[in-house]
Amino acid sequence: MSEAAVLLNPPGEIHSASAEAIRERVRAAGVVGAGGAGFPTHVKLQAQVEIFLVNAAECEPMLKVDQQLMAQQAARLVRGVLYGMRATGATEGIIALKEKYHAAIEALTPLLPGQIRLHILPDVYPAGDEVITIWLATGRRVPPAALPVSVGVVVNNVQTVLNIARAVEQQYPVTRRTLTVNGAVRHPLTVTVPLGMPLREVLALAGGATVDKPGFINGGPMMGGLIPSIDAPVTKTTGGLLVLPESHPLIQRRLQDDRTVLTIARTVCEQCRLCTDLCPRHLIGHELSPHLLVRAVNYQNVATPQTLLSALTCSECNVCESVACPVGISPMRVNRLLKRELRASGARYTGPLREADEMARYRLTPVKRLISKLGLREWYQDAPMIQSDIAPSRVELLLRQHIGAPAVPCVKAGDRVSRGQCIADIPPEALGAPLHASIDGVVASVTDQAITVVRG
Ligand code: SF4
Ligand code: SF4
Closest CA to 124 of 256, 317, 321: 317
**Whether 27 and 78 share a structural domain:** yes
Q: Is the residue at 373 inside a domain?
A: no
Going by C-beta distance under 8 Å and a sequence separation of 6 or more, which residues neighbour residue 381?
182, 188
What is the C-alpha to C-alpha distance for residues 426 and 434, in angstroms, rounded to an integer? Answer: 6
What letter would DSSP give residue 362? H
Q: Do residue 215 and residue 307 come from a single domain? A: no
Q: What is the CATH number of the domain that holds 428?
A: 2.40.50
Give a yes or no: residue 365 inside a domain.
Answer: no
Q: Is residue 168 a contact partner of residue 194, using CB atoms and an 8 Å limit?
A: no
pLDDT for res 303:
79
Last residue of a domain, one of 170, 191, 209: 170
Choose which residue among 278, 288, 310, 315 to substitute to test ligand 2 binding: the one with the highest number of ligand atoms within 8 A of its C-beta: 315
Q: Which of 345, 360, 375 is the last residue of a domain?
A: 360
- For the chain, what is the domain count? 4
Regarding whether 134 and 14 lie in a shared domain, the answer is yes
Report whether residue 224 contacts ligand 2, using a CB cutoff of 6 Å. Answer: no
Task: Compute φ and ψ for 331, nearest 5 degrees.
Answer: -55, -30
Burial per residue of 389-416, b for 16 or more beta-carbon CB atoms within 10 angstroms, e otherwise: ebebebbbbbbbbbbbebbebebeeebe
Any ligand 2 atom below 6 A from CB of 314 = yes
Indicate if 264 and 412 belong to the same structural domain: no
- Nearest bound ligand to CA 223? 2
How many Å apart are CA 30 and CA 163, to the nearest integer? 9
Same domain, 126 and 198: no
Closest C-alpha to 98, from 138, 125, 79:
125
The CATH number of residue 203's host domain is: 3.10.20.600
Q: Residue 272's CB: how many other CB atoms inside 10 A?
A: 13
3-class SS at 181? Answer: strand
Tell me, yes or no, whether 243 and 261 share the same domain: no
Q: Could you tell me if the CB of 319 is within 6 A of ligand 2? A: yes
- Ligand 1 binding pocket (C-beta < 6 A) is 269-275, 291, 294, 324-325, 327, 329, 331
CA of 331 to the centre of ligand 2 (A): 7
In a domain, 381, yes or no: no
Q: What is the DSSP letter of 32?
A: B
| Nearest of 367, 336, 403 to residue 99 by alpha carbon | 367
Question: Cβ(434) to ligand 2 under 6 A?
Answer: no
The pTM of this model reads: 0.94
| Diameter of the chain measured on Cα atoms | 68
Tell me whether residue 386 is in a domain: no
- Report if residue 336 sits inside a domain: yes
At which of 170, 185, 211 does a domain end? 170
| d(C-alpha 424, C-alpha 315), whole Å | 31
Say how far apart CA 42 and CA 299 lie, in whole Å: 45
User: To test ligand 1's pocket by mutation, which of 263, 266, 267, 271 has the most ligand atoms within 8 angstroms of CB?
Assistant: 271
Does residue 217 share a domain with residue 138?
Answer: no
CATH number for 129: 3.40.50.11540
Confidence (pLDDT) at 150: 97
pLDDT at 205: 96
371 within a domain of the structure (yes/no): no
Tell me if 386 sits within 8 A of 188, measured CB to CB: no
In this structure, the answer to whether residues 166 and 200 fall within a common structural domain is no
- Name the residue with the closest Cα to ligand 2, atom 1: 316
Cα of 221 vs centre of ligand 1, distance in Å, is 21
Q: Are residues 181 and 159 in the same domain?
A: no
Per DSSP, the three-state class of 195 is coil
Q: Which domain holds residue 238?
A: 176-248
157 shares its domain with 213: no
Walk along the chain (456 residues) and give the pLDDT tens digit of each residue.
Answer: 333 333 344 445 678 999 999 999 999 999 999 887 899 999 999 999 999 999 999 989 999 999 999 999 999 999 999 999 999 999 999 999 999 999 999 999 999 999 999 999 999 999 999 999 999 999 999 999 999 999 999 999 999 999 999 999 999 999 999 999 999 999 999 999 999 999 999 999 999 999 999 999 999 999 999 998 999 999 999 989 999 999 999 999 999 999 999 999 999 999 999 999 999 999 999 999 999 999 999 887 677 889 999 999 999 999 999 999 999 999 999 999 999 999 999 999 999 999 999 999 999 999 999 999 999 999 998 999 998 778 899 999 999 999 999 999 999 999 999 999 999 999 888 999 999 999 999 999 999 999 999 998
Q: Are residues 263 and 325 in the same domain?
A: yes
Q: Are residues 181 and 200 in the same domain?
A: yes
Give whole-number Cα distances, 414 to 191, 352, 397, 401, 447, in Å: 30, 56, 16, 23, 13
* Residue nearest ligand 2's atom 2 by CA: 320
366 within domain boundaries: no
Structural domain contains residue 155: yes
CB-CB contact of 281 with 288 (8 Å): yes
DSSP 109: G
